[in-house]
Structure 1
Amino acid sequence: MTMLGKVAIVTGGGTGLGAAVALGLAARGANVLVNYSRSSADAEATAAACRALGVDAAAARGDVGDDADCRALVADAVARWGRLDILINNAGITKMVGHDDLDGLSAEDFLSIYRINVVGAFQMIRAAAPAMAASGSQGVVVNVASIAGIMAIGSSVAYAASKAALINMTKSLARALGPGLRINAVCPGFIGTRWFADPMGEAGLAKMIAQQEQSTPLAHAGTAEDIAHTVLFLAGSESGNITGESIITDAGAHLGPRTGPPRKPAPDQ
């Protein structure tokens, strides 16, 4: 229970990675506000699962692209638990468009993606910073970026550019808001969640999982729990000397395809 008594907000926390992070925070003793914009039932289920771990948790609707909603989410957490310690900026959107399809993206597409992926994260940090300072301990922010922001790959040019902006903003705000806040980012590669399953279908998801297992240096297709472990490390005291960093967690996919045969890890002794 290394986060016992802490209070966390997880944006986009109802499903996938957000839900895995919310549950991980709860397992460590934190009370959790599970934010959602559309998936009310999923967020309520995640909050209930957190409560089953012995902490308090609640679901709260809010559009992170709306500054008033961001401030309301922070006010809700403080009103419920009297403090705010951890912010996980997980909410994100995309549009699936090939990078060579220049006519597949409009200015409106860019603006809507940046509104959530970049401006939303900024607004949540701006709203959370005073509450974290009032809590009397160092606040922690983890931004969920993407390998797309480093490698210029992913679902679309607009998405990749937004995640590159989020990585840059992580560095800028870590410098500006320290030592009161520590701000880091995690950069996932493929994750076998609804983020991929919804647009690609189950067959497409299964194909991607197989490709990841065949090609990545670790011969592994990432899961929400894999990424959550890194998020929780950055949110916890174990990373207390780290700020402004962006940690890639993609089974080594950014290194290129595996060149040797797969090797099974030695069994635990």
Structure 2
Amino acid sequence: MTNGGRVVIITGSSSGIGKASAILLASQGWRVVVNCSSSVAAANAVVDEIKTNGGQAIVVQADVGKDEECKKLVDKAIEAFGRLDAVVNNAGTTKFNAHTNLRGLSTEDFLRIYSVNVVAPYNMVKYAEPHLRSAGNAAVVMVSSIAGVMGVGSSIAYAASKGALNTMTLSLARNLGPEIRVNAVCPGFIEGEWLRNGLGDKAYEAARNNYISTTPLRATVTAEEVAECVAFFCSSASKVTGEVMMIDAGTHLGSAPAKAR
């Protein structure tokens, strides 16, 4: 497939949803800017995989939690490819802390989490805006979380940051049309090392089993499944903006009734 050489920046794309989105969009003909803050070897591996399969990609190391690094990331994309058609704001961070433990989060924790999860997506859009408007039918995709809809997740600070990201999605969508569409995806429990490392093996398996036994679709979510939704918003959803799509096997609906025996 080809997309006329369109270009996408995907923040935090050395692993997880970002990596899956980079590989999928590259397979659809997009030229991909793979971003990482520190895991350069992993980012290079993503680019190597894309190139092996005939795609085009580069790595730009940048800490999107810093304003000037967001500008650098956009500038490097334009320098390499001469245009920009989509930005996927996937980079995120958290602190795992029980919601009942209010003393477990400091002001510094909140500011760090917000700097990456909320301020960075804003700055990326701010610097990308003129290039996206020039491209026309451009897309911004926010990788959010059902934490921002339900007030659950790794910590209250994380949930609050994703709620803010969802609200910002609506504000940007209202103001950046008609040239730029802005949408968000809100995954539920995502299979993978990020959650496993944060929760620990025992808690991870317990949470996974709980989702599989209680969600309406009796399932968790994979990074590749989220990437399909990211690609939809980038490529196909030409009349969709301001949408906050939940990809959570129905978690937001509450526990499903027990199966009849």
CA contact (8 A) 2:96 2:199 kept: no
Report deviation, 1:68: 1.2
Partner of 1:213: 212
Partner of 2:245: 247
Partner of 1:30: 30
Matched, 1:42 2:42: yes
Matched, 1:201 2:200: yes
Q: TM-score, normalised by structure 2?
A: 0.96
Report deviation, 1:58: 1.2
Q: Distance in 1 between matches of 2:217 and 2:118?
A: 31
**Which amino acid is 2:28 matched to?**
R
Partner of 2:126: 126
Report deviation, 1:208: 2.6
The DSSP-based 3-state class of the residue aligned with 2:239 is coil
The residue correspondences of 1:85-100 to structure 2 (distance < 5 A) are: 85-100=85-100
Report deviation, 1:2: 4.9
CA contact (8 A) 1:47 1:57 kept: yes
Partner of 2:183: 184
The DSSP-based 3-state class of the residue aligned with 1:29 is coil
Report deviation, 1:54: 1.3
> 1:61-111 CA deviation, whole Å, 9 max, x = no partner?
101111111111111111111100010000000001111111111111100
The DSSP-based 3-state class of the residue aligned with 1:239 is coil
Partner of 1:60: 60
Q: Distance in 2 between matches of 1:161 and 1:42?
A: 29
Q: Distance in 1 between matches of 2:258 and 2:238?
A: 37
CA contact (8 A) 1:74 1:131 kept: no
CA contact (8 A) 2:62 2:69 kept: yes
Q: Aligned Cα RMSD in Å?
A: 1.5
> 1:184-221 CA deviation, whole Å, 9 max, x = no partner?
00011110112201122334333332222211111111
Q: Distance in 2 between matches of 1:181 and 1:88?
A: 13
> How many pairs does the alignment contain?
261
Greater mean deviation of Cα atoms: 86-95 or 46-55:
46-55
| Identity over aligned pairs, percent | 45
Partner of 1:224: 223
Q: Distance in 2 between matches of 1:58 and 1:142?
A: 20
**Which amino acid is 1:84 matched to?**
L
Q: Which runs of 5 or more structure 1 residues have no equivalent in the other structure?
A: 264-269
Q: Distance in 2 between matches of 1:127 and 1:175?
A: 18
CA contact (8 A) 1:129 1:139 kept: no
Q: Distance in 2 between matches of 1:51 and 1:262?
A: 50
Runs of 4 or more above 4 Å deviation: none
CA contact (8 A) 2:137 2:238 kept: no
Q: Distance in 1 between matches of 2:154 and 2:205?
A: 17
Q: Distance in 1 between matches of 2:142 and 2:106?
A: 26
Greater mean deviation of Cα atoms: 35-44 or 198-207:
198-207
Partner of 1:82: 82
Matched, 1:169 2:168: yes
CA contact (8 A) 1:4 1:28 kept: no
Q: Distance in 2 between matches of 1:42 and 1:262?
A: 46
Q: Which runs of 5 or more structure 2 residues have no equivalent in the other structure?
A: none
Q: Distance in 1 between matches of 2:163 and 2:60?
A: 28
CA contact (8 A) 2:189 2:221 kept: yes
The DSSP-based 3-state class of the residue aligned with 1:9 is strand
